[in-house]
Amino acid sequence: MKTIAEINRKIKDGDVTVLTAKELCDAVRSGKSVSVEDVDVVTTATRGIMSGTLAILSFPVADPGVFSRAEQVFLNGVPANAGPCPNEHLGIIDLVVHGTAERDARYGGGHLFRDLIRGAGIEVAVKASGTGTENETDAEITTTVDIDDIPFARMLTTRSAYRNYNAFVNPGEAFSTIFSVVDFKGNCSEAMFGGCGEINPLEKDAGTIGVGTRILLNGAVGYVIGEGTRSTRERRNLSLFADMHEMDGSCISGFVTSAGPDLINSIAVPIPVLDEDVLSRASRLDSEIELPVVDIRTRKEIGRTDYSQVWRSGSDPLVTFEPSLCVHCSACNVKCPIGAFTGSEVIDDLCCNCGHCASVCAGGAFVAEMGAIVLRGREIPVTLRHSDRRGAIKLADELKQRIERGSFLLAEPAQRFE
């Protein structure tokens, strides 16, 4: 049995063997035998919609004595919760900004976080009380800041990287939901799902992840705080944090649903291969990982499939655009939920490969292998993916390279999950 300390020594000596989850699964599929002696670390990742995300920010907006308390704060029009400190006439505001907070139907906390991480100027509007004048009148303060003006900027997920997600169908009438980009069609005519299957961190873990595990959150080194909200032994998820100053803006973005804005996060987790049990779990393929099918309204399970049906083996999860096939509809149906389609091209580092464009394009200019689920003998096509497996594969490879360079060491958990 290996130890994390031994693996870290190998990392420092430049003698560590790292495989991404995809590389390990590809080896298993090809019939190659991989032993504990052959690999020290398997890098896993997931990228997708993660509503349970918030940012904690603290920065000055005025000189000391100008006001005593921030009552309302807006960042690029997105509402923030001021507090908990009363600011004590210091001109500093402490904020909590939710990833699902919205300025309007097309811009929310996720868009704000991406703009902030990429260094854009952010408009700050503060309604304050206790101005320090004789009449103690309220004041309105406006200013512009960027990430370098915010000494404390930390992102926290309340629940993320679920071990197992769901596929959703709608047996009833069409309606708006956070799980769809346009109204979710009824009569079980389409399916949507989340989860990166055989490269997903908690699906590959056999008890090595715990409080204090070092991870990557949107490209920044962060840590597992513990289990997230709504986490259970069967459906475990993680609460994480990392410094926003170190994040990569291409890893995070806003995502517009039919029920308002949401956001996309990227998470990578190293799995230390300590023994055969860990390696066996890390080697599981899509076909071995179950995907429950649930009624979108009641969340009750009405069927079950596996991830090989939605992530087809050998197919590329990339969505491609063929301009020559575009028929230039007078009213284009492609309203990209992430803003990656300009009308003539796709912005690669923004696209999350959700496949919505391929589902609605009248001319078939967008191409994606979306898969399908079988429910009670009926094949239902997938029209939207809540997870970006291609982006997750890229992040797992980035973590592998950091470990091989010696710039990322594994952390021994202070407490493992039961």
Q: CA 134 to CA 54: how far, in whole Å? A: 38
- Which residue matches tokens 């997708």? 48
* 57 has pLDDT over 60: yes
For 309, 355, 356, 364, the CA distances from 360, given in Å and listed in that order, are: 21, 9, 6, 8
Kindly report whether the peptide bond that precedes residue 84 is cis, defined as omega within 30 degrees of 0: yes
Q: Quote the pLDDT of residue 268.
A: 98
- What tokens appear for 232 in the block? 């259970």
Which of 267, 159, 283, 273 minimizes the C-alpha distance to 208? 273
Q: How far apart are the first and last CA of the chain?
A: 20
Find the mean pLDDT for residues 23-31: 96
Instruction: Kindly report the backbone phi and psi dihedral angles of residue 263, in degrees, each rounded to the nearest multiple of 5, phi listed first.
Output: -150, 160
> pTM for the complete prediction?
0.95
In residues, how long is the chain?
Answer: 418
Residue 180, pLDDT score: 95
Give yes or no for a contact between 72 and 79, defined as CB atoms under 8 angstroms apart.
Answer: yes
Numbers of helices and strands, H then E, in the chain: 7, 26
Residue 77 pLDDT: 98
Say what angle helices 21-29 and 389-405 make with each other, to 10 degrees.
110
- What's the pLDDT tens digit per position in 166-204? 999 999 999 999 999 999 999 999 999 999 999 999 999
CA 415 to chain centre: 24
Q: How far apart are CA 32 and CA 190, in angstroms?
A: 37
- What does the pLDDT look like over 301-335, one tens digit per residue? 999 999 999 998 767 789 999 999 988 887 788 89
Q: For residues 194 and 147, what is the distance between their CA atoms, to the nearest angstrom? A: 31
Spatial contact of 165 and 17, defined as CB atoms under 8 Å apart:
no
* Predicted confidence band of residue 418 (pLDDT cuts 50, 70, 90): confident
Question: How many CB atoms within 10 Å of residue 296?
Answer: 20
Q: Do residues 184 and 247 touch, judged by C-beta distance below 8 A? A: no
Per-residue DSSP letter, 7: H
